Amino acid sequence: MARHLDLEEQEQLDDLKHFWNQYGNLISWFLIAVFGSFAAWNGWQYWERSQAVKASALYDEVERAAAGGDTARVEQALKDMRDKFGRTSYAQQAALLAARTLADKGKPDAAKAALQWVADDAADEGYQAIARLRLAAMLVETKAYDDALKQLAAGMPKQFEALAADRRGDIYNLQGKKDEAKAEYTKAWQGFAADTDYRTLVEVKLTALGVDVKALKPAAGAAKP
């Protein structure tokens, strides 16, 4: 009986050896891939957390420099942020903050460059839209109307469409293109919810152009700015 069990165990061992010889390498590589992916995922998570902490600290530097009106520090901190953490939301927020400070301190070209970077390279389309709207406003101040319209021609997230239409209306109005201005203001009016102050402002603009606002119909799903 004992000998019978020994033979049976030997057969099982032989089968196991045969199986391992045939599939052992495949199993090993599969396990390496699984555990390697797990380690890589943990490493990536750690790297992202580390990047976020460092980017947050550098954003604080931009914020402090902006609060102090130190444009040289603002520009340097923003450059460091773009070079090291350019794909983070902190970098995009920092650029918007820096642009406002630089514009207020009489450095419009640097402000425009910061906004253009966000408009072109930001990973978040919301930040891109904000940058384009602000950049268009700055371009209007220098009467670069065509360039401003180009900024607004880029695709906008739905919640920004009414704001973009209102700004286009302003540009056309300044250019003396009254019909185009009316059309854009109408889009803006229809895009804003009825209880928003911004819609009231657009109504004033439409009325000044001779449009009977009471005859307009709001678009479905009008958004709040």
Contacts of 65 (CB under 8 A, 6+ apart): 71, 73, 74, 77, 101
Angle between helices 125-141 and 158-174 (to 10 degrees): 10
- Claim to verify: residue 84 and residue 175 sit in the same structural domain: no
Residue that is written with structure tokens 């090291």 in the block? 84
- Claim to verify: residue 130 and residue 207 sit in the same structural domain: no
User: Of 83, 114, 144, which residue is a domain's last?
Assistant: 144
Averaged pLDDT score across all residues of the chain: 81
- Claim to verify: residue 140 and residue 55 sit in the same structural domain: yes
Question: Is the whole model's pTM more than 0.75, yes or no?
Answer: no
Q: Is the pLDDT of residue 42 over 90?
A: no
Distance, CA of 133 to CA of 164 (rounded, Å):
7
- Claim to verify: residue 93 and residue 115 sit in the same structural domain: yes
Q: Is the pLDDT of residue 17 over 70?
A: no
Q: Which domain holds residue 161?
A: 156-225
Distance, CA of 55 to CA of 15 (rounded, Å):
57
76-113 pLDDT tens trace: 999 998 888 888 888 888 999 999 999 999 999 999 99
Q: Is the pLDDT of residue 30 over 70?
A: no
User: Of 119, 144, 169, which residue is a domain's last?
Assistant: 144
Angle between helices 178-191 and 158-174 (to 10 degrees): 160
Residue that is written with structure tokens 């902006």 in the block? 66
What's residue 45's pLDDT? 52
84: in domain: yes
142-160 pLDDT tens trace: 999 999 999 999 888 899 9
25: in domain: no
CATH number for 107: 1.25.40
What's residue 216's pLDDT? 82
- Claim to verify: residue 211 and residue 139 sit in the same structural domain: no
| 85 vs 51, higher pLDDT | 85
Distance, CA of 42 to CA of 26 (rounded, Å):
24
179-223 pLDDT tens trace: 999 999 999 999 998 888 889 999 999 999 999 888 887 654 455
Q: Is the pLDDT of residue 31 over 80?
A: no
33: in domain: no
